[in-house]
Amino acid sequence: MSAIPRAKKPTFEIGRETRLELYRLQLELRMCEKRAFDLFLQNLIKGTSHLSLGQEAIAAAFGVAMRPDDWTFCTYRGHAHTLARGVSMASVLGELMGRECGLLAGKGGSMHLTDVERGVMGSYAIIGAHLPIAAGAAWSAQYRGTQQVSVCFFGDGTTNIGAFHEALNFAVVWKLPVVFVCENNLYMEYTPIGAVTAVPNPAGDRAAAYGLPSIVVDGNDADIMYETAVTAITKAREGGGPSLIEARTYRHSGHSRADPAKYRPAGELEEWLKRDPVPTYRERLLRLGVSEGTLKGIEDDTQRKVDEATAIAKASPTPSLDLIDKDVWADGSTAWRN
């Protein structure tokens, strides 16, 4: 396993307001995911769920860097990326809980969060599938000249599936405005990525195969991620084609809620907790002169919003059974015969 890229200073100035938003958003993703975990323990969330605890800097940085009409494509580990586009916590928690107020009224569940109005074009639960789909959306933007950009998030394990290769090659040949973001959290489900991958940097070392520069960055540093996001999105928007980014990060919990992550070597989690993106960013803001009171205000406000969202989701009824027979087809029906 290659060394974690060291944090370095961004090459351009990030304004105070942007930094506060990066902090607020990381905090929202953290608190909302923690709340989701609590709700599992209370058996209010059924099925499976994959948390982004520890990986928030990546989703938050792209959320701040993207234009409102840009598109997000995420995996089954997509709560954070969905929230980062401004989707309400109540609708995300409601979906996880299978309630009427859920983003998909309970029809999709944790692994399929989608909000077309806010550019969240789906969470995809089959590894690799959404890379070509994100490329297709980018093709549509290119064809129509809208300068929209597709951003596609996926894990390190995805770099070993065929769709990854097909999509990268396709996007480069067609010079599509798409940004591929590999969140390398060191584990493909339960197995260390290094044990099943031919190269040390699963995405970065593959970039050359598509004529792309290798970009391996510290995914736990919101400033570095923001700069990386702005650079890649700008390149795509200006017709420069796709980018492949490998963001090094760490999953604080297991692969899914069924996984206690006992395969991790002793001390690894503790090492990474020292690099936890949320408290380290807080320390940076204090060093940069942001007052304790300002940060405390953001924290209290976010906690209150999480509590309110939880209350809304808990109070929401279960979905109407009428939904079972709706929306297979564009006419709203499920009819397959006359």
User: Which is nearer to other proteins, 136 or 241 (by Cβ)?
Assistant: 136
Report d(CA 128, CA 114) in Å as an integer: 17
User: Which is nearer to other proteins, 121 or 232 (by Cβ)?
Assistant: 121
Touching other proteins, residues 139-178 (CB under 8 A): 139-141, 143-144, 148, 150, 162-163, 166-167, 169-170, 173-174
Report d(CA 105, CA 286) in Å as an integer: 41
Collapsed DSSP state (helix, strand, coil) of residue 120: strand
212 belongs to the binding site for other proteins (CB under 8 A): no
Q: Whose structure tokens read 């060394």? A: 3
Among the listed residues 87, 101, 105, 186, the single contact to other proteins using CB under 8 A: 105
Number of residues that bind other proteins (CB under 8 A): 53
201 belongs to the binding site for other proteins (CB under 8 A): no
Closest C-alpha to 55, from 182, 210, 212, 241: 182
Least distance between other proteins and beta carbon 149 (Å): 12
338 belongs to the binding site for other proteins (CB under 8 A): yes
Report d(CA 236, CA 176) in Å as an integer: 7
Closest C-alpha to 74, from 118, 147, 125: 125
Among the listed residues 135, 179, 233, 309, the single contact to other proteins using CB under 8 A: 135
134 belongs to the binding site for other proteins (CB under 8 A): yes
Q: Give how far the C-alpha of residue 311 lies from the chain's centroid of Cα atoms, to the nearest Å.
A: 25
Least distance between other proteins and beta carbon 248 (Å): 27
Helix axes 277-287, 56-65, angle to 10 degrees: 60
Site string for other proteins, 48-87 (x = CB under 8 A): -----------------------x----------------
User: Which is nearer to other proteins, 114 or 228 (by Cβ)?
Assistant: 114
User: Which is nearer to other proteins, 39 or 133 (by Cβ)?
Assistant: 133
Encoded amino acid at 7, one letter: A
Among the listed residues 39, 65, 83, 121, the single contact to other proteins using CB under 8 A: 121
181 belongs to the binding site for other proteins (CB under 8 A): no
Degrees, nearest 5: CA angle 5-241-119: 85
User: Which is nearer to other proteins, 37 or 174 (by Cβ)?
Assistant: 174
CB 69 within 8 A of CB 125: no
Question: Which tokens belong to 239?
Answer: 């017709």
Q: Whose structure tokens read 């004529």? A: 211
93 belongs to the binding site for other proteins (CB under 8 A): no
DSSP string, 76-104: SS-HHHHHTTT--HHHHHHHHTT-TTSTT
CB 105 within 8 A of CB 111: no
Among the listed residues 104, 188, 215, 309, the single contact to other proteins using CB under 8 A: 104
332 belongs to the binding site for other proteins (CB under 8 A): yes
What does the binding site for other proteins look like in residue numbers (CB under 8 A)? 71, 103-105, 107-108, 112, 114-116, 121-122, 124, 126, 128-141, 143-144, 148, 150, 162-163, 166-167, 169-170, 173-174, 323, 326-332, 334-338
